[in-house]
Chain A
Amino acid sequence: MVAKLDKRDIRQRVSDWVSRLTKLYAQLDVWLRDVPGAQVLRGDVEQINEEVMQQFGVRPQQVPTYTVVKGKRRVSFVPSSLWIIRANGRVNITTNKNQYMLLDMGGADGQPSDWQLVTWSLKRPTAPFDRERFLALVERDI
């Protein structure tokens, strides 16, 4: 699969990754409107230099991060791997006490993202990352 790609495809996918993250954070902004006292800190972090990028000589780009601070509580979204088997990117979510993972199960070929929060439930190990789950994370660990 990788052998059919070229450098341009890899750059395009990285650019798409930044675009999907930007859209995710824009959605978080909308969900946060109803939360009094929540402050948003935006930043950038250098992308992990993934194996596929190394193979094609594509340099890591800056990818956006998003942190919500509410009182003593802090919830940070930091992009992790883009190339991941059975998903289309992973974002690590770090709270004061816990670590969570978001997986984009969509977002391929121009399709919209399908962000799923890993719940580790035996019956249904992921759940759609919606307003309710996001606000729960901002208020407490779930």
Chain B
Amino acid sequence: MKSFTEVRTSYRYADWYLASKEAAARVHKQRWSRLRAINDQAYFLMMFGQLEDHVNSQCKKLVTRKKTAPRWKDRRAWDTFDPEREPFMNRVALLTDKGGKAFRQVKYYYEDLRCEIAHGNTAVQMPMALITVAAELQSLARALHA
């Protein structure tokens, strides 16, 4: 999550500008509101991208460690395993319990929001409380480790 704080700071100023335009608008309030929602979603994708990068690096760390186990019995299941070929949620499952809260939260953000927004689903055109979402993504990153 190297660039997370910078992305968050950049969002703060972009939202500040759009919210001030929306609050002051007499006739184009709708337009500014729409732009603010798009801004929320764009920054969400960047923030989630930081979490994806974190998951990838933690998976790589885990698999590398498992592949270097001294006993063949301990490393045989990992020897031919390539996390980059796995779907994203399988990679998450390597880092946290599939039945746990962290897994469910990542699944919600990934499947219901990230994929829908990234693939242009217009049904998900709501603004976000992105400051709250950002805090949750940071908390999730702390919960997902090798």
Contacts and interface: CB of A to CB of B under 8 A. Distances in A.
Do these two chains really belong together in a complex?
yes
Interface in A62-121: 76, 78, 80-81, 83-87, 90, 92, 94, 99, 101, 103, 105, 118, 120
Given A94-B20, A125-B131, A125-B132, A84 B30 contact: no
Interface string B15-39: 1100110111000011001001100
A39 interface: no
B113 interface: yes
Nearest to B123: A2
Most buried by A among B129, B131, B134: B129
A52 B22 contact: no
Given A83-B126, A99-B19, A101-B131, 5 more contacts: A48-B30, A76-B23, A81-B33, A92-B20, A99-B20
A51 interface: yes
A125 B134 contact: yes
Interface residues of B, number: 27
A2 B125 CA distance: 12
A49 B33 CA distance: 9
Interface of B: 5, 12, 15-16, 19-20, 22-24, 29-30, 33, 36-37, 113, 123, 125-129, 131-136
B19 A85 contact: no
25 contacts: A46-B29, A48-B29, A49-B30, A50-B126, A51-B37, A51-B126, A52-B126, A80-B19, A80-B23, A80-B36, A80-B127, A84-B127, A84-B128, A85-B113, A85-B126, A85-B127, A86-B128, A90-B129, A92-B19, A92-B23, A99-B23, A101-B19, A103-B131, A103-B132, A105-B129
B22 A80 contact: yes
Contacts of A85: 113, 126-129, 133
A2 B124 CA distance: 10
| Chain B interface mostly | helix
A84 B129 contact: yes
A122 interface: yes
Interface string A112-142: 0000001010100110000000000000000
A49 B29 CA distance: 9
B23 A81 contact: no
A45 B30 CA distance: 12
6 pairs of A and B residues whose beta carbons are closest in the complex: A87-B129, A85-B128, A92-B23, A86-B129, A99-B20, A48-B33
Contacts of B133: 85-86
Nearest to A124: B135
